[in-house]
Structure 1
Amino acid sequence: MVREGPSGLLKKDVLVAGAGVSDRLVELLSVQGEDLGANWADKVTGRLGGRVSRAEVKQELQEIYTALVAALGSGSLDGHGDAYGEVRALLTELSRNRARQGFTPTETAVSVFALKEVLEPALSGDGGDLAAYLKFAALLDTLGLFTIEVYAATREELVAAQAEQLLELSTPVVKLWDGVIGVPLVGTLDSARTMVVMEKMLQALIDTGSEHAIIDITGVPAVDTEVAQHLLKTVVAARLMGAECTISGIRPQIAQTVVALGINFGDIATKATLADALRHALRRSGVTLSAAPQASAR
């Protein structure tokens, strides 16, 4: 039994009408495919400012065009439906490429929206064609928004990857002397960075066979309770590896802050400068230090 909807139209009639729109679109896109595809490629290439060759743009859009016609052939106009799975897959690839190439969201979405401009003159005739155009425009709006969503997700992935790379670069571990490594810290020390510092320092202790590590916080703008806790965790991890840690770069302002906050570094050695910390580590290693002889005046 066929049920009537709120408007009085039979559900069967709605489906037939939808199929008629799809058939008209498939007919038009198939017959004028070459001209429409060429115009589409021209518009998109122009909007991209020549940063992608027309040949490459045409190849990308031709694949999308073919998949779109095939999806319309199913009678569906639902861009989220199974019939448009291949179209969405191709748009995903295009959006991710545009994001990696540095294009804006608008420049990415125009690859879809430009097809509306191309198709409008061909469907500007009778009322039936206008109805088909409006439904097709709504479909392209759905697919265009999909490309923006994929673009945004890809950009977030790229930013996260770049942040991780910067985190690695901002946490070097250097060998200062036989048995002594240094970890100069610059910038804010948070939980994520503490984990990187800890991992790199512990690995360096193993790789170099060092027994002393100097954590230099000269480049850390401020030390609060959270930063102090991160430093203490790093020191404890080094001690579990059998290494001794010294914290250097304790400036007067930091010393006052540490006292005011009641932060207790316990038996952890702290020094004002990296040179003082290195001298301390060398003496703990049994290295004899002596002042260099001064050249006699002639």
Structure 2
Amino acid sequence: MATHEAEILEAWLQNLQADGALQSGRIREGELRVQCAGLLRQLRAGMAESSDLDAPAFAPLRDALSDLSASRAQQGFSPREIATFIFSLKQPLFEAMTRGAGHDVQATWQTGLLVDRLGLLVMEAFQRTREEVIVRQQQEISELSTPVIKLWDGILALPLIGTLDSQRTQVVMENLLESIAQLGAGMAIIDITGVPTVDTLTAQHLLKTVAAARLMGADCIISGIRPQIAQTMVHLGVELTVVSKATLADAFALALSRQGRGVTRLRKPEAPGQSLPLG
């Protein structure tokens, strides 16, 4: 392999370019050449000592491929692009090893298996990074979708959008309790207008949040229970042991009344087109 390394590199690069490796614009030709040359040197060094990918001789190659796969996953490369990057090396390697008479069939077969394992390695690293990115994005979206809003002195609102699961309930609870502690709120309105469905599990998550808020000294009101959700909860036998209101406005009015406050109209609204007297 050492005597044909330059030929293998050029053939590998040609295969990658023919498959569109440079068309996406995510990587330039010079960078691709440097990456391929470095990996090829590490592959040659490992094969000089062993044919087992788990051997210490292949440690630099394994680390380099894992880092490369993770980097490309974050850059938005597709699984096909990652797999093609490795498997396009197969043909140049086979051609170099079978060139001339008396080539070693067993060595060629072992090299093919080695490249296959390299392909699995990069795909596993790629998938692992993609899953980490997805989990991080889900956490960020969950945090952004659970804002705690101060409606009035001592009154908070927590509008929920989307499905409630155990992980998101934990984020909701933490945000609400932190806001209650910081603002010294005594009332919290949990609005579920944006929650598509409420089943037994969702109700349990809501009750946990209400119970945690009560331990912090804040009473809760649940608002936004639509007729369809109310019917579903009745059929399921779900009972929310907390005051509920149809709309956020109704819940806000109730919270104000519990504080001895209310909303009143200061003056009669003006008729359309009526103007105020001057002077």
Q: TM-score, normalised by structure 2?
A: 0.88
**Aligned residue identity for 2:28:** S
User: Take 1:136 and 1:226, find their aligned partners in 2: how far apart are those partners?
Assistant: 53
User: Take 1:222 and 1:141, find their aligned partners in 2: how far apart are those partners?
Assistant: 46
Residue 177 of structure 1 deviates from its aligned partner by 1.6
Contact 1:124 1:130 in 2 (8 A): no
RMSD: 2.0
Match of 1:175 among 150, 155, 172: 150
Give the match for residue 16 of structure 2.
44
Give the match for residue 62 of structure 1.
37
**Post-superposition CA distance 1:6-27 (Å, at most 9, x none):** xxxxxxxxxxxxxxxxxxxxxx
SS at structure 1 position matched to 2:81? helix
**Aligned residue identity for 1:242:** G
Contact 1:251 1:272 in 2 (8 A): yes
Shift in alpha-carbon separation, 1:35–1:289, aligned structure 2, 3 A = same
Match of 1:115 among 67, 84, 89: 89
Give the match for residue 269 of structure 1.
243
**Post-superposition CA distance 1:180-233 (Å, at most 9, x none):** 111111222222221111111111112222221100111222222222211111
Give the match for residue 289 of structure 1.
263
* Structure 1 gap ranges (5+): 1-28
Contact 2:146 2:160 in 1 (8 A): yes
**Aligned residue identity for 1:71:** G
**Aligned residue identity for 2:14:** D
Give the match for residue 149 of structure 1.
124
Contact 1:45 1:53 in 2 (8 A): no
User: Take 1:225 and 1:144, find their aligned partners in 2: how far apart are those partners?
Assistant: 45
Give the match for residue 30 of structure 1.
2
User: Take 1:296 and 1:88, find their aligned partners in 2: how far apart are those partners?
Assistant: 76
SS at structure 2 position matched to 1:128? coil
Give the match for residue 277 of structure 2.
none
Contact 2:253 2:262 in 1 (8 A): no
SS at structure 1 position matched to 2:2? helix
Match of 1:100 among 74, 84, 90: 74
**Aligned residue identity for 2:135:** A
**Aligned residue identity for 1:79:** L
Query: Between the two proteins, what is the percent identity of the paired residues?
Result: 44
Match of 1:220 among 177, 183, 195: 195
**Aligned residue identity for 2:264:** S
Residue 46 of structure 1 deviates from its aligned partner by 4.0
Give the match for residue 24 of structure 1.
none
Residue 138 of structure 1 deviates from its aligned partner by 2.0
Q: TM-score, normalised by structure 1?
A: 0.83
Contact 1:44 1:57 in 2 (8 A): no
* Structure 2 gap ranges (5+): 275-279
Residue 31 of structure 1 deviates from its aligned partner by 2.5
**Aligned residue identity for 1:277:** A
In the alignment, structure 1 residue 160 sits paired with structure 2 residue 161:
no
Shift in alpha-carbon separation, 1:46–1:171, aligned structure 2, 3 A = farther
